[in-house]
């Protein structure tokens, strides 16, 4: 038996769908609070010293956190290349906006404190806000568009054709339901960032973070509930027709797809997946309660639970779809027909088994070394490196 045949093609596709979810959720849990802190920066810090305290809570870790974003993008590219090709080519203006924000962020961290001028520093503070707000909004809008269906179709030679032209690919994404998902995404990361600031700061910064974070948690719960009701009554879901071979060749046009019913029918077919939205609601509610109280650690823990539940609920709801097509449902991409080859997935899994635990161990070590609160004394001490 050939080595890679030890794990069937079907199970490898399923494993990589799960790993992709793990990587994207890992990005949200780590780099998500960085973005939330950036959004909160103008509102929780009233003086330059306070702003430096806020920035120094994420300054030493944001770069490592962004590794999860790179891993997620790499996993899409290697495990599901049609998904990478169709989504990145169709959403390239939106992707450029995200990348511009992620490029501006390190520049802002490095250059903000190079001059004492208040105007200079204020401009970089705005850049940090932009670098947090824009990705948070666009990621949420993207999720909303996946649930709505993306306006593309595949030609017989699997070339993706998008409707609406170049600017339509950007502004066409701003549909009401997608904007609601974007608002939930921003509020979710603000809640998460507030939990981080409660953990890493004290005094006025922490109190303001509690106030804003608790409001964001209420927006998350209300927005998520509204999105669920909208899905139930106003948005058609997708379903595969007949038995689709789970170990067949990767050809999206080989499957027949119907657009009818509701995405929420998945909860009747697989009732156990209801644990995901339950975690989202419970985590958000408990994060709100913790932010209202005086606990130091629980807000961040509960917000992590909320993010895990909210994000995983999307993937579980649309399974096995990766990118539904609005204009031609038969062109929709699923995990069964948009993956790499059997051998490629097996080799990648072997590399992941080796390197992912090392990344987790290194990340845990870094956070252990950097444990503790950032104070005004820390950022004012010339013997300590501070942003």
The per-residue pLDDT for range 216-246, each reduced to its tens digit, is 999 999 999 999 999 988 888 898 888 888 8
Spatial distance between the Cα atoms of 302 and 357, rounded to a whole number of angstroms: 24
Mean pLDDT to the nearest integer, 66-91: 86
Taking the alpha carbons at both ends of the chain, their separation in whole angstroms is 56
Spatial distance between the Cα atoms of 83 and 150, rounded to a whole number of angstroms: 12
Does residue 13 sit within a domain? no
Does residue 228 sit within a domain? yes
DSSP for 69-108?
Answer: HHHHHHHHHHH-HHHHHHHHHHTHHHHHHHHHHHHHHHHH
In the chain, the percentage of residues whose pLDDT exceeds 70 is: 93
What's the domain range around 241?
Answer: 20-380
Spatial distance between the Cα atoms of 303 and 290, rounded to a whole number of angstroms: 10
Evaluate the omega torsion of the peptide bond into residue 109 and state whether it is cis, within 30 degrees of 0: no
Structural contact between residues 291 and 299, judged by C-beta atoms closer than 8 angstroms: yes
Q: How far is CA 80 from CA 26, 96, 237, in A?
A: 19, 21, 22
The per-residue pLDDT for range 274-333, each reduced to its tens digit, is 999 999 999 999 999 999 886 666 888 999 999 999 999 999 999 999 999 988 888 899
Does residue 387 sit within a domain? no
Q: How many CA atoms lie within 13 A of 342 on its CB side?
A: 14
Q: How many domains does the chain have?
A: 1
Does residue 386 sit within a domain? no
DSSP for 1-37?
Answer: --GGGGS-HHHHHHHHHHHHHHHHHHHHHHHHHHHHH
């Amino acid at each position: 038996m050939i080595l890679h045949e030890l794990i069937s093609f079907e199970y490898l596709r399923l494993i990589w769908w799960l790993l992709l979810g793990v990587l994207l959720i890992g990005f949200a849990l780590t780099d998500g609070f960085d973005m939330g802190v950036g959004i909160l920066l103008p509102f929780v810090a009233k003086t330059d010293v306070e702003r430096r305290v806020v920035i120094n809570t994420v300054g030493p870790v944001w770069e490592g956190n962004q590794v999860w974003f790179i891993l997620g993008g790499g996993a899409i590219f290697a495990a599901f290349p049609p998904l990478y090709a169709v989504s990145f080519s169709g959403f390239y203006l939106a992707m450029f906006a995200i990348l511009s924000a992620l490029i501006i962020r390190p520049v802002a961290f490095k250059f903000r404190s190079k001059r004492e001028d208040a105007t200079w520093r204020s401009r970089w503070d705005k850049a940090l806000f932009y670098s947090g707000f824009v990705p948070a909004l666009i990621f949420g809008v993207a999720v909303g568009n996946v649930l709505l269906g993306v306006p593309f179709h595949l030609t017989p030679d699997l070339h993706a054709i998008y409707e609406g032209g170049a600017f339509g690919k950007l502004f066409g994404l701003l549909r009401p339901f997608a904007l609601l998902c974007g608002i939930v995404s921003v509020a979710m990361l603000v809640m998460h960032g507030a939990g981080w600031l409660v953990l890493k700061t004290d005094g006025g910064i922490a109190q303001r973070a509690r106030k804003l974070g608790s409001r964001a948690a209420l927006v998350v719960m209300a927005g998520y509930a509204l999105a669920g009701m909208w899905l139930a009554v106003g948005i058609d879901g997708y379903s595969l027709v007949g038995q689709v071979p789970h170990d067949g060749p990767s050809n999206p046009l080989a499957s027949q797809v119907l657009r009818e019913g509701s995405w929420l029918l998945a909860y009747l077919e697989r009732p156990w997946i209801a644990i995901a939205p339950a975690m989202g609601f419970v985590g958000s509610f408990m994060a709100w309660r913790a932010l209202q109280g005086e606990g130091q650690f629980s807000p961040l823990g509960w917000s992590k639970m909320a993010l895990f539940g909210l994000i995983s609920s999307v993937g579980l709801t649309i399974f096995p779809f990766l990118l539904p097509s609005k204009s031609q449902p038969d062109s929709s991409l699923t995990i069964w027909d948009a993956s790499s080859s059997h051998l490629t997935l097996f080799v990648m899994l072997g590399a992941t088994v080796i390197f992912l635990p090392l990344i987790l161990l290194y990340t845990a070590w870094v956070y252990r070394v950097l444990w503790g609160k950032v104070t005004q004394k820390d950022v004012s001490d010339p013997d300590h490196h501070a942003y």
